[in-house]
Structure 1
Amino acid sequence: MAAAFDDLTTLDDQALADLVRAAIAELSGRGTTASFGALVALSGEVGAALGEAARRVAEQGSWSQVAEITGTTKQAAWSRWR
């Protein structure tokens, strides 16, 4: 069961990213089979979330914006996350 958190929507993007980074570092540092399994599961969830976020950015702007953020071409970004 996940720990109770304050409403994450109140955090700005940077503060939320910092929280996620701290959680990942903590899991990684534990060195247990459970923490490793959690990180493996999270990697799949992060991959799916990247695709969803890329599509949302493209819908609200363009695939060129996605490409700029990711350091790829527009075609590569579209091909990966469409």
Structure 2
Amino acid sequence: MDRQRLDKWLWHARVVKARTSAAELVASGHVRVNGVREKSPGHAVKAGDVVTIALDRAVRVLKVTGFSERRGDAAAARVLFEDLQKADE
């Protein structure tokens, strides 16, 4: 798998608790892919894309590093992205 729907990836990466929440987050304009605001939950993300999420008065900047067929536990979710903010600190 080299691409995945944005809403599905956000859910699998455990950014949100439900896929519908991921879709609403994208549709309401709180997600950017490579600096461009994305309003389509079905937008495909690929490895290397930088996803910026405005969530709960905070901004998360994540680099897509992998995909999953199913939603796993927190440890499995951590391998799907690299947190670019922690790298800056």
- With the length of structure 2 as denominator, give the TM-score of the two structures: 0.23
Q: For CA contacts below 8 A with separation 6 or more, give which structure has more relative contact order.
A: 2
Name whichever structure is richer in strand by fraction. Answer: 2
Name whichever structure is richer in helix by fraction. Answer: 1
- With the length of structure 1 as denominator, give the TM-score of the two structures: 0.24
Rg larger in 1 or in 2? Answer: 1
